Amino acid sequence: MAQTTILTGQILSFTRSPFTGDPKDAARLDEAVVISDGVILAIGNAAELRARHPEAALHDYRDKVILAGFIDPHVHYPQTAMIASWGKRLIDWLNTYTFPEEMKFCDPDYAARIAARYLDLTTAQGTTTMSSFCTIHSESVDALMREAQARGQRIVAGKTCMDRNAPDGLRDTAQSAYDDSKALLRRWHGVDRLSYAITPRFSPTSTPEQLEALGALWAEHPDCLMQTHLSEQTDEIEWVRSLFPDARDYLDTYEAFGLLGANGMYGHAIHLEPRERDRLREVDAALVHCPTSNTFIGSGLFDMAGLVADGHRIGLATDTGGGSSFSMLRTMAAAYEVGQLRGTALHPAQLIWLATVGSAQSLNMADKIGNIAPGMEADLVILDLASTPAIAQRSDCADDLWDAIFPTIMMGDDRAIDSVWIGGTQVSG
């Protein structure tokens, strides 16, 4: 018989998007959450829920805040070891650091070590689900999937496909990309809490033949996600124009080959043309904002306010290791800073929502993860709003919960993560 557990504290969940109406009214606060067999059974008054479940084990988190676990919808776990490498522009950075590191993932033992290290690091930061690019090596996908499966995590991952503009040892072919991806999809997609994503790195590293092959695979498996990069840097866009002279724009290099759809996730999306914005919205594709990466590599400032106003689905991601932190708190802080530079101050409710519900929506998994509600999977993070003296003194004089949370968003790190629960099991704290 499954063990029932009650967690008490400040249970923060969302009843609607904080991007419509007053952000402060988008969430509800409860005293307790009941979980059993990896699923949330109820939220509400602590005394009532304890009376209803007298057999339940109790974890009292007092005044700490209990949220849905953070969701990171665009990462590169193979870049774990070379995060925060001094860089220039995107292409130089890929050639200098990323590609040499990714070469090592032909070794299954190395891939397994980095997969375990990556999940250890992200769990310590409160991240419970992510969508990761792997390398061209099937071993890199197998390593991450096996490690996540052993931990009971819900993740998405895919073999990164490249058949040009990459070094020897990091290129596949149109046919092998299709064959390898299909075999991995059959091996992992839908197993336990694992999902497969068809993964062309970006247009410059795939020939039209490879993009066409991956588009065909997606058409065969439309329930799969497809993840790639779009319009990250201006010089990258010029490179795409030179490689695809007949394309209307960058997005057309995907659209022409069947790689545009509602299950598509397009990382960065900073320098979009009007047609691209319209088409992405028309098909309800997801855009993923990667603020620490965009500032670290000097890519540009994402138009959060404009894209939200246009009705786009948007997730928030670290983009490790182009992103300079594994922390979704740091990523929220960077999103706030980018918003300020564009003239829009994101409310704390909007930042938390982007890292939970919004990112779940970008994965088309908001019915499973990203919020605290009956029937949702019990992935939870417990935030300590007094994790350092500097944060504590600011939180102590807050006027409301959002004012109390904001210092942790802006200054918090792994010390702010009191505990993490994945699939109803406490894994840290």
- According to the 3-state scheme, what is the secondary structure of the chain? CCCEEEEEEEEEEECCCCCCCCHHHCEEEEEEEEEECCEEEEEECHHHHHHHCCCCEEEEEEEEEEEECEEEEEEEHHHHHHCCCCCCCHHHHHHHHHHHHHHHHHCHHHHHHHHHHHHHHHHHCCEEEEEEECCCCHHHHHHHHHHHHHHCCCEEEECEECCCCCCCCCCCCHHHHHHHHHHHHHHHCCCCCEEEEEEECCHHHCCHHHHHHHHHHHHHCCCCEEEEEECCCHHHHHHHHHHCCCCCCCCHHHHCCCCCCCCEEEEECCCCCHHHHHHHHHHCCEEEECHHHHHHCCCCCCCHHHHHHCCCEEEECCCECCECCCCHHHHHHHHHHHHHHCCCCCCHHHHHHHHHHHHHHHCCCCCCCCCCCCCCECCEEEECCCCCHHHHHHHHCCCCHHHHHHHHHHHCCHHHEEEEEECCEEEEC
Q: pLDDT value at position 288?
A: 98
Q: pLDDT value at position 85?
A: 75
Residue 248: phi and psi, rounded to 5, are -70, -30
Res 1 pLDDT > 70: no
Res 92 pLDDT > 80: no
Looking at residues 233-250, what average pLDDT do you find? 97
Q: 295: closest CA among 339, 255, 257, 265?
A: 339
Q: pLDDT value at position 58?
A: 97
Distance CA 335, CA 351 (A): 8
Res 91 pLDDT > 80: no
Res 401 pLDDT > 70: yes
Q: pLDDT value at position 182?
A: 98
83-92, 167-176, 275-284, 320-329: least confident range? 83-92
Res 99 pLDDT > 90: no
- Mean residue pLDDT across the chain: 96
Domains of the chain by start residue, with CATH? 4-68+370-428 (2.30.40.10), 70-362 (3.20.20.140)
Q: pLDDT value at position 139?
A: 97
Q: pLDDT value at position 311?
A: 97
Q: pLDDT value at position 378?
A: 98
By DSSP bridging, strand 225-230 and strand 264-268 are: parallel
95-99, 190-194, 254-258, 380-384: least confident range? 95-99
Res 381 pLDDT > 80: yes
pLDDT in tens, 319-354: 998 888 999 999 999 999 999 999 999 999 999 999
- HSE, side-chain direction, 13 A CA sphere, residue 39: 8
Q: pLDDT value at position 26?
A: 97
Res 72 pLDDT > 80: yes
Res 98 pLDDT > 90: no
pLDDT in tens, 167-215: 999 999 999 999 999 999 999 999 999 999 999 999 999 999 999 999 9
* pLDDT category of residue 25 using cuts at 50, 70 and 90: very high
Looking at residues 422-426, what average pLDDT do you find? 97
Res 300 pLDDT > 80: yes
Q: pLDDT value at position 181?
A: 98
* pLDDT category of residue 115 using cuts at 50, 70 and 90: very high
